[in-house]
């Protein structure tokens, strides 16, 4: 049964087999994607035709590696830009939300908190289309009544940023609140008694204490934005983010360049995830 109890051999072996199978199931698609990024074949499939770095570096008439693939490089750059802006925005508003819900008392607090959690139960696709509709209405209104043509409200970069910001902020609120709950408020009172104002207290004491949660929340926000597909799908204009760009390529038949991108994404996100884990472990100490 458990560690402290005697276990039959059959039980031990079958449970272990089960766990091994589970981890194989978990990692098989990722491992195979990475391996095929280095296969010297024009298709992302076996047989193994030898090791190559062509899918990263080649630039000839037969093969264009990732680092010379303008289209893919551009979408990576757009994704990084989007994720960066989204994480900054959601970190600011999310932290304010955490302060609001943890440290302030006001009317309708429960209702507002409930709204904050709403993005958790709204499917991403719905969030995308509702923001698309609303911004379209605003854009149409402005054009009809004021005669201003605003590209800001048409699908495109800023709409993607807004769409992702709308639900990622919720996660930042949750991450920062969790840390803020453990904060000893007598420290704030002490500082206030010593003559600091509220903002000095927040700046010098509370935010310092929150730093691990802010870094953790920021990296979660970055990753969520970087890989978001469902909400983004409806809001992209002529500048697709990486997941949307990859989706179009995968749907219409793929080359090992996609494996090369996937390989880099796996390395990059695992690193960021480990950094995040490091900070969240530190948080518990």
Partner 1 sequence: MKHAKLGFYIFLIPVVLWLFLLIVIPHIDLLIMSLRAENDLGELVWSLQNYKNFFTEPIYWVTFVRTAVYSILVTIITAIIALPVSFFITKVVNPRFSNFLSILLLMPFWVSELVRVYGWMILLRESGVINHFLVKLGILNRPIEFLYNDISMIMVLVYTSMLFMVVPLISVMESLDDHLIEAAYDLGASTKDIVFKIIIPHAKPGLTSGSIVVFMLTLGNYLTPNLIGGKNSLWFTEQIYTQFIASFNWNQGAAFGFLLLILSTLIIWIALKITRQNLSKVVQ
Q: Compare residues 53 and 273 and give the one whose CB is closer to partner 1.
A: 273
In the complex with partner 1, the residue whose CB is nearer, 59 or 203, is 203
Of 40, 230, 255, 283, which one interacts with partner 1 (CB under 8 A)? 230
| Subset of 234-263 contacting partner 1 (CB under 8 A) | 234, 242-243, 246-247, 250-251, 254, 258-259, 262
Of 30 and 187, the one with the shorter C-beta distance to partner 1 is 30
234 backbone dihedrals φ, ψ, rounded to 5° = -90, -10
Interaction residues for partner 1, span 53-112 (CB under 8 A): 92-93, 96-97, 99-100, 104, 106, 112
Of 14-22, 56-64, 70-78, 139-147, which part binds partner 1 (CB under 8 A)? 14-22
Which C-beta is closer to partner 1: that of 15 or that of 53?
15
Of 283, 176, 258, 272, nearest to 224 (Cα)? 272
Name the minimum Å distance from CB 255 to partner 1.
Answer: 12
Which range, of 51-59, 60-68, 70-78, 166-174, touches partner 1 by CB under 8 A? 166-174
Find the angle CA(124)-CA(126)-CA(127) to the nearest 5 degrees: 65
Closest approach, Cβ 2 to partner 1, in A, equals: 4
Site string for partner 1, 121-150 (x = CB under 8 A): xxxxxxx-xxxxxx-xx-------------
Measured between alpha carbons, how far is residue 85 from residues 31, 79, 80, 119 in Å?
31, 10, 9, 19
Least Å distance between CB 62 and partner 1? 20
Q: Which position among 162, 176, 213, 214 is part of the footprint of partner 1 (CB under 8 A)?
A: 162
Choose the binding region for partner 1 from 55-63, 139-147, 158-166, 204-212 (rule: CB under 8 A).
158-166
**x/- contact string, 189-218, with partner 1 (CB under 8 A)?**
--------xxx--x----------------
CB 1 → partner 1: shortest distance, Å?
6
Pair 168, 224: CB distance under 8 Å: yes
C-alpha torsion angle, residues 47, 50, 52, 55 (rounded to 10): -10
Question: Cα 82 from chain centroid?
Answer: 11
Closer CB to partner 1, 59 or 268, in the complex: 268
- Smallest distance, Å, CB 211 to partner 1? 19
Would you count residue 46 as binding partner 1 (CB under 8 A)? Answer: yes
Size of the site for partner 1 (CB under 8 A): 92
Q: Does 10 bind partner 1 (CB under 8 A)?
A: no
């Amino acid at each position: 049964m458990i560690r402290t109890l005697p276990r039959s051999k059959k039980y031990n072996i079958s449970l272990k087999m089960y766990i091994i199978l589970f981890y194989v199931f978990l990692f098989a698609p990722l491992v195979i994607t990475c391996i095929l990024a280095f296969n010297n074949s024009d298709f992302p499939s076996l047989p193994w035709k030898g090791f190559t770095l062509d899918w990263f570096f080649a630039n000839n008439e037969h093969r264009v590696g990732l680092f010379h693939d303008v289209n893919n490089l551009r979408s990576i750059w757009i994704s990084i830009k989007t994720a960066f802006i989204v994480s900054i925005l959601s970190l600011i508003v999310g932290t304010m939300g955490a302060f609001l819900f943890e440290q302030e008392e006001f009317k309708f607090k429960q209702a507002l908190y409930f709204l904050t959690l709403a993005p958790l139960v709204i499917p991403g696709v719905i969030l995308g289309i509702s923001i698309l509709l609303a911004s379209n209405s605003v854009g149409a209104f402005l054009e009809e009544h004021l005669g201003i043509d605003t590209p800001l409200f048409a699908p495109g970069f800023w709409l993607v940023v807004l769409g992702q910001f709308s639900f990622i902020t919720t996660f930042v609120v949750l991450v920062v609140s969790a840390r803020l709950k453990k904060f000893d408020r007598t420290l704030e009172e002490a500082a206030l008694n010593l003559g600091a104002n509220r903002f000095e207290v927040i700046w010098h004491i509370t935010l310092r204490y929150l730093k691990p949660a802010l870094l953790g929340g920021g990296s979660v926000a970055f990753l969520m934005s970087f890989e978001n597909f469902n909400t983004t799908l409806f809001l992209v204009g002529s500048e697709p983010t990486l997941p949307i760009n990859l989706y179009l390529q995968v749907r219409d038949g793929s080359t090992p360049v996609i494996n090369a991108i996937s390989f880099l994404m796996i390395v990059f996100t695992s690193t960021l995830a480990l950094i995040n884990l490091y900070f969240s472990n530190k948080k518990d100490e």
